[in-house]
Amino acid sequence: MSILIAVVTLSVIAALFGLLLGYASIKFRVEGDPVVEKIDALLPQTQCGQCSFPGCRPYAEAIASGEAPINLCPPGGETTMLALADLLGVEPVALDDEHDTEPTKTVVVIDEQTCIGCTLCIQACPVDAILGAAKQMHTVIADECTGCNLCIPPCPVDCIHITPVKVEPDTWRWPLPEQNFAAPRA
């Protein structure tokens, strides 16, 4: 008899709680995932695919769903990784050894003498930063170039070169002073 009471009581209470939660889940429904937007905003948008995802947004989605670690973005370097760690409240993860912690920014330049006008690079460019048409010489709009280097492999004549972005006095950055006290003894 007492077993019966126990079972009934538990079932009734469980059912009541279930109803309550069911109601709450309708009332507090959440649509979309706003976190993806926030992650995407931190990524450098080079769309280079070096993270193994086809572009920045897919990578953002993968991070948000916990499928990808936060240290896969070489163009963003340590800065992006730290920003992601900060946003998501996770421990920073070291970048792969092969990538610089602070990558130098680059753009590509097309050697106009060699270009054959094959348009392959135009198709590869994720941000439409290459100007030109079939059989016409192509040019990179330096301001639009994200330095993803996706145009380099398709080029049949190897006429695309990487050049570092020039630092002007106006865009120059003061170096962080060396903290001798924190440095190991020489």
Q: Using the rule CB under 8 A, which residue among 49, 50, 79, 131 binds another protein?
A: 79
Q: Where are the alpha helices (DSSP H) in the chain?
A: 2-27, 34-42, 56-64, 77-88, 120-124
Using CB atoms within 10 Å of the CB of residue 45, give its burial: 0 to 12 exposed, 13 to 18 middle, 19+ buried: middle
What is the C-alpha to C-alpha distance for residues 114 and 123, in angstroms, rounded to an integer?
Answer: 18
4 binds another protein (CB under 8 A): no
71 binds another protein (CB under 8 A): no
112 binds another protein (CB under 8 A): no
133 binds another protein (CB under 8 A): no
What is the C-alpha to C-alpha distance for residues 144 and 128, in angstroms, rounded to an integer?
Answer: 8
Q: Using the rule CB under 8 A, which residue among 93, 109, 120, 152 binds another protein?
A: 120
Q: Using the rule CB under 8 A, which residue among 132, 140, 146, 149 binds another protein?
A: 146
Q: By rule CB under 8 A, what count of residues binds another protein?
A: 70
Closest by CA position to 95, among listed 126, 74, 119: 74
Q: Using the rule CB under 8 A, which residue among 93, 109, 124, 127 binds another protein?
A: 127
Q: Residue 109, SS3?
A: strand
- Write the CA distances from 137 to 9, 118, 159, integer angstroms: 81, 9, 11
Q: Using the rule CB under 8 A, which residue among 91, 96, 97, 98 binds another protein?
A: 91
Give residues in contact with another protein (CB under 8 A). 2, 5-6, 9-10, 13-14, 17, 20-21, 24-25, 27-30, 33-35, 38, 40-41, 43-47, 55-56, 64, 79, 82, 86-89, 91, 115-118, 120, 126-129, 134-135, 144, 146, 154, 156-157, 167-169, 171-182, 184-185
